Amino acid sequence: MAQYQIFNGASPTTAKFVAVTTGTSIKTLLQVKPSATIAAKIIEWGFSCDAPSAAALAVVELIETDVAATVTAHVAAGIVKFDPAALIGGDPTTNLIQVGTTSTGYTSSGEGSITTSRLLDQRITTIPTTNGYEFKWAFPLGREPVLQVGLFARIRVHFSVATNAVCYMTVEV
């Protein structure tokens, strides 16, 4: 089993990582789809945002869904090889993590019509204008949610005031 960390944006090279606006309607910031034959464990996820222009009510959720959001497709360079097994394992997009506009990607332009979902974790908070918000959650060993074959894991947000956000998921496949 190899571990990969996936962020809601392209891998930074000569410039810094770019945060994405949350907007004020529900929006998938990151979507992950495992291999067509191998399930994935979500071992950790996290989210951070800057201070909004006005106090914001924020709902950040980690869900499993049966329908893909339309996203900007990730590429192999954006999937961080996180442990030794991943480093020696080659390109994860060939057989472990599917990439594409309806697979693993970020910044949705369309949420799709979900018919079945499973809420894996959620954070609801008020973010004041004086500071941002940050959390990371590592699931206890043996209690990591399994992302089923053919389904999608999403970090989805709903903010009352738009702000800039970065999120990630660490998966084991």
pLDDT for 61 equals 97
Label residues 120-138 b or e (16+ Cβ within 10 Å = b): beeeeeebeeeebbeeeee
What averages of pLDDT result for each successive group of 10 residues across the chain (173 residues)?
94 85 95 93 96 90 97 93 92 90 95 94 91 91 94 96 95 95
Q: How many domains does the chain have?
A: 1
As a whole number of angstroms, the distance between CA 33 and CA 35 comes to 7
pTM of the model: 0.93
Q: Which helix (H) or strand (E) element contains residue 88?
A: helix 84-88
Determine the 3-state secondary structure of 173 from DSSP: coil
pLDDT for 95 equals 84
pLDDT for 13 equals 81
Q: Which domain holds residue 89?
A: 3-13+21-172
As a whole number of angstroms, the distance between CA 37 and CA 101 comes to 20
Task: Name 155's Cβ contacts closer than 8 Å, sequence gap at least 6.
Answer: 8, 28, 29, 30, 45, 47, 60, 61, 62, 167, 169
Q: 32 near 153, Cβ under 8 Å? A: yes
Length of the chain: 173
How many CA atoms lie less than 13 Å away from 34 in the CB half-sphere?
A: 24
pLDDT for 74 equals 94
Q: 157 near 165, Cβ under 8 Å? A: yes
